[in-house]
């Protein structure tokens, strides 16, 4: 593999960041794979940050929005993905706290409705257990799941769910 210069790395990463949001960790990993030494990586990253090509908070906002709306992920799964991207804990909390319960409910309700039609169960209890397990795997918190599963039962039975 051809050695990447500091300027070459900066230009490639700036072009990459101009097309889509990226976090510091992803870009640092890319430079590491290119075989750049740590000091050169730090200088390139500092330049990208100072010129606002890279901003972990901006990345986290876009990442969270996309994962919830398009991938239909819940808070826990998004949190884990941000942790894997090495986004700072305070940025994670700030960005995730901006998302209200209603947005998660708006994503989960149609997801559960669709899943409900494909499940086979011997009883309502078994069906609800399968729906809860499905939603937990998608990363939704139990309180959000309970609101949706309870809401579905109320609609189906016409009786309050207790």
* CA distance between the termini of the chain: 64
pLDDT tens for 29-69 read 999 999 999 999 999 999 999 999 999 999 999 999 999 99
| Helices then strands, each counted (H, E), the chain | 9, 0
17: which residues sit within 8 A by CB, 6+ positions away? 27, 48, 53, 54
pLDDT tens for 82-104 read 999 999 999 999 999 999 999 99
The pLDDT value recorded for residue 2 is 61
Tell me: pLDDT of 160 over 50: no
């Amino acid at each position: 593999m051809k050695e990447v210069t500091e300027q070459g790395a900066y230009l490639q990463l700036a072009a990459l960041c101009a097309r889509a949001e990226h976090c510091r960790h992803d870009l640092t990993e890319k430079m590491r794979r290119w075989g750049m030494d740590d000091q050169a990586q730090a200088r390139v990253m500092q330049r990208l940050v100072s010129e606002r090509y890279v901003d972990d908070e901006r990345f986290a906002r876009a990442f969270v929005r996309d994962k919830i709306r398009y991938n239909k992920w819940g808070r826990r799964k998004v949190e884990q993905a941000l942790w894997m991207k090495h986004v700072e804990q305070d940025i994670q909390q700030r960005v995730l706290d901006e998302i209200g319960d209603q947005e998660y409910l708006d994503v989960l309700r149609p997801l559960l409705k669709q899943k409900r039609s494909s499940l086979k169960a011997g009883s309502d209890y078994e069906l609800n257990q399968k729906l809860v397990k499905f939603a937990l795997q998608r990363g939704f918190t139990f309180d959000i799941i309970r609101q949706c599963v309870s809401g579905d039962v109320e609609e189906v039975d016409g009786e309050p769910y207790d």
